[in-house]
Amino acid sequence: MSMHETAPTTMVPTESALPDVLPAGNLSASGRPTGPLRDDLYRRHDLRNAANVVGVWVQSLGVIIVALWLHHPVAWLVAFVLMGRAFALFAILGHEAAHRLLFTNRRANDLVGSWLVGYPAFVPLDAYRRGHMAHHKEEFGPNEPDMGLYAGYPITKASWHRKLRRDAFGNSGWKNLRGLLLALGKPTSRGIAGRIAAWQILLFVGFTLAGYPLAYPLLWLAPWMTGWRLINRLRAVAEHGGAQHSSDRRLTTHHIRQSWPARFWMVPFNTGWHLAHHVDIGVPFQNLPRLHRELEAAGWVTPELEYPNYRAFWKQASSRVI
């Protein structure tokens, strides 16, 4: 019986699931790759990532264009749902750019990451990078920017459902949008907020000139404020919910078995191999599954650490009984 079945009141692995087997082979004591393995895993994939950026735009605009062409309420509804997923695609490529892993050339990485990935999806790349690096520097430490997303799990089922409803109905999205609007009025943040606003105006004008002024609020802004916020919470909680401060990344980050539906909807671009990402943030997403396999082969990642699927994790995360 796994620790996830025997300890439903905690999200922290038991000591038996954390064998002290490192360093071993080409893995250091922290699990980071060394030597030739490191060189191989640190290799960036410029052409593939250029195709990924183009592909995200083709998918996103394609979904909307098909819905407008079909001109049917069901098509608009399907596009609305799929656009929540589209923002997950933008977010993960933006995350890769924040780590400067999208392109080998730093200037290209930041330009594409900001103007073609971040700003259209309401993400100020530089500000996000600063906060995200604080998250990686010391998960659950005093400067953890996302503590509100992770702390306190497991929670009650009622509390879990309230959080999901707030995301699904736009409450969380409005808080984020309001922050952007307020940033436009502050000299210190007006520049980057203005770039995000400029992209949104450009999209609105484009849809309007095409004869569909409602496409922007209903098929771009609304999915970002609702479906994407829901996806973001589900993913973020599955990554770190209820974990604890530690230098051992197995205590700060969960691992959940990856499936094609989950990778399509919620954890694209290998972001579901999040434990490997926290072991070494210099490994591009294309190489995270291989690093994870190396950690498994060394015996550092054990079967007891793995949740069989996201549903099992969320069930435990909402298992507190008062």
Domain segments of the chain as ranges: 1-43+228-322, 46-138+170-225
For the segment 133-158, the average pLDDT, to the nearest whole number, is 92
Q: What is the mean pLDDT of residues 166-184?
A: 96
Long-range contacts of 196-204 (CB under 8 A, 24+ apart): 196/119, 196/122, 196/123, 196/124, 198/119, 199/119, 199/120, 200/122, 203/120
User: Residue 8: what pLDDT?
Assistant: 56
Q: How far is CA 286 from the centre of its chain?
A: 15
Tokens of 134: 């604080």
> CA nearest 239: which of 314, 155, 142?
314
Tens digits of residue pLDDT in 259-288? 999 999 999 999 999 999 999 999 999 999
Q: Band of the pLDDT at 308, cuts 50, 70, 90?
A: very high
How do residues 14-53 score in pLDDT, each as one tens digit? 999 999 999 999 999 999 999 999 999 999 999 999 999 9
pLDDT digits (tens, 9 = 90+) for 233-259: 999 999 999 999 999 999 999 999 999
**Model confidence at 1: pLDDT above 80:** no
